[in-house]
Amino acid sequence: MSDRVVIFDTTLRDGEQSPGATMNQDEKLRLARQLEILGVDVIEAGFPAASEGDFQAVKAIAAAVKGVQVAGLCRALPSDITRCFEAIKGAQNPRIHTFLATSPLHMRHKLNKSPEQVLEMLQAGVTLAASLTPNVEFSCEDASRSERDFLAVAVEKAIACGATTINIPDTVGYAQPQEFYDLIKFLLATVPNASKAVFSVHCHNDLGLAAANTLAALAAGARQAEVTLCGIGERAGNASLEEVVMALKTRSCLYNLETGVKGEQIYPSSRLLSMIIGQPIPPYKPIIGGNAFAHESGIHQAGVLKCPETYEIMTPQSVGRAGNEMVLGKHSGRNAVKARLEELGFALTEEQVTQMTEAVKQLADKKKNIFSEDLEALVLEDIYRLPDKYKLRKLSVLSGNMGVSPVAAVVLEVDGREEKLSSFGVGPIDAVFNTISQLTSRSPVLKQYAVNAVTSGTDAQGEVTVRLEEGGHKSVGRGSDADVIVASAKAYVNALNRLAKKEEERECATL
């Protein structure tokens, strides 16, 4: 049995299904390229039959990435399978990932089919998929609550019909590590043709055991782990890529397994995802959280200063976090900016590097030191943006507790025309949002407003996320600036641009 674990990343499919994590096509492409740099083996790019937008995004990713397999998810239905292959066929190594429920609960209440009918659907679906590509994965949905004997029959039939990867998911996060270990051992020992396929696991985190169950399955003989960055996904999320990969690396003597993931790209990848979906990384998140390598206790500090291994089981650098910072400022040259960007995993054009150098100098006029997180925020703010219908040009706010209502004066570019307006609000943010709404003739409902400091210190950039809803459609906007009110305005305008973009897409779809 191979000691190489295939890392199957489903951030763009299962991860994107989690509330608030929806991405547009450009964002999916950007993250797919970063996943390729990270070194995952398979990118599950989406569910092509779900929508035209998902189909186009999967197709674009299949054409864009070259050093990684691209998979599309589909039900075991002929229409789903053929649609999936149409989306992924441009990939260098396309994979059809088809699934069908095998637990009594799902077969009875969701599928309304007998076990015999399910096996017939399985045979037809996998056979069709295998006729389109030799790279076929079959998932037994809700495997951890399936009857073992029936599960073994389903797996044997799927392999006989052409499946080269068999996925055993803990779909609802129900399994415990020891029983999941036993399940994988049982299947490998019981299924006659088990040696003809790679066994995979896809674990959810409903009981907080997704990573533990994944590692138990790998110890039992599974050789593919289905994971997501930061563990995002349905309900409580999926097994976290960084936790599984670093557990295998840190405890290599225990598992004797390896992956192709580049550890130093873990944090940059997670940070990019965080910025794209507008959800900050929790400080206590293992591996990548802000406190993961922080030490406040005097005893801990003393130990780390004498020997880092006393309280650190891995180095910050091993996951792409800087142990020390190259300080950038207004005197920094283009080469220093370019080098730091490359260290952070950003592959920018020469023109974009020049643009970033100017952005660094402008920020340096507002704050003394510029950290990696500041640079990442600038890249997302200045480089990776959708074409804007609305552009914030100038902003001035008057606020305080001297009896005068907060007022905001805004200069906004709307479809190339400069518009100006002043308006009041309950507070400075309310005044800014009211003014922008009037200038754009829009009236969205603010569903969420969140501020996160990009770095420490009173001069830290504020990273603002807003969620808007208008006419039944939702959007997420992000903005960063040393002035948190300006960052708020940028985030609000960004969300309005996303709403406008969705309207354009809907209009094009009806033509």
Distance of alpha carbon 9 from alpha carbon 43, whole angstroms: 5
Instruction: Kindly report which listed range (99-113, 125-139, 203-217, 396-410) carries the lowest average pLDDT score.
Output: 396-410
165 or 455: whose pLDDT is higher? 165
Q: Which residues fall within 8 angstroms of residue 322, CB to CB, at 6 or more apart?
A: 316, 343, 372
pLDDT value, residue 382: 72
In the 8-state DSSP scheme, what is residue 77? S
pTM of the model: 0.77
Chain segment 426-452, per-residue pLDDT in tens:
999 999 999 999 999 999 999 999 998
Does residue 240 surpass a pLDDT of 80? yes
Q: Cα 8 to the chain's mean position, in Å?
A: 13
Question: In terms of Cα–Cα distance, which of 271, 318, 270 is closest to 293?
Answer: 318
pLDDT at 507 over 70: no
Which are the contacts of 254, defined by CB distance < 8 A and separation ≥ 6? none
Give the span between the Cα atoms of 138 and 157, in whole angstroms.
10
Select from 320, 317, 384, 321 the least CA-distant residue to 347.
384
pLDDT mean over 30-55: 96
What does the alpha-carbon distance between residue 443 and residue 4 come to, in Å, rounded to a whole number? 54
Q: Which of 112, 114, 186 is nearest to 143 (CA)?
A: 186
pLDDT of residue 509: 55
Q: CA 371, 375, 381 angle in degrees (round to 5)? A: 140
419: CB partners within 8 A, 6+ apart = 411, 412, 413, 439
pLDDT at 326 over 60: no
**Is residue 323 scored above 60 in pLDDT?**
no
What kind of architecture, by CATH, is found in domain 390-510? Answer: 2-Layer Sandwich (3.30)
What percentage of the chain has pLDDT greater than the value 70?
Answer: 93
Contact 228, 15 (CB under 8 A): yes
Per-residue pLDDT tens over the stretch 159-194: 999 999 999 999 999 999 999 999 999 999 999 999
Q: In the CATH hierarchy, which top-level class contains the domain 6-277?
A: alpha beta
CA distance 279 to 332: 30
pLDDT of residue 256: 97
Using one digit for the tens of pLDDT, what is the confidence trace for 292-302? 887 656 666 57
Q: What is the average per-residue pLDDT within 301-321?
A: 80
Q: Looking at 62-76, 274-288, 332-346, 393-407, which range is the least confident one?
A: 332-346
Give 122's contacts (C-beta < 8 A, 6+ positions apart): 76, 100, 138, 154, 157, 158, 161
- Residue 108 DSSP symbol: I
Percentage above 90 pLDDT, the chain? 65
Residue 256 half-sphere exposure toward CB, CA atoms < 13 A = 6
Predicted local confidence at residue 348, as pLDDT: 84
pLDDT at 325 (0 to 100):
45
Residue 324: the pLDDT is: 40
For the chain, domain boundaries: 6-277, 300-383, 390-510
Between 76-80, 109-113, 282-286, 298-302, the lowest mean confidence (pLDDT) is in 298-302
Residue 385 to residue 461: CA distance in whole angstroms: 18
Of 257 and 329, more confident:
257
Q: Is the pLDDT of residue 72 over 80?
A: yes
Strand 445-453: give its sheet, edge to edge: 445-453, 462-470, 473-481
Mean pLDDT of 20-43: 93
Strands 224-227 and 390-398: unpaired
Measured CA to CA, the distance from residue 30 to residue 310 in angstroms comes to 38
- Per-residue pLDDT reduced to its tens digit, 480-494: 888 999 999 999 998
Q: 237 or 383: whose pLDDT is higher? A: 237
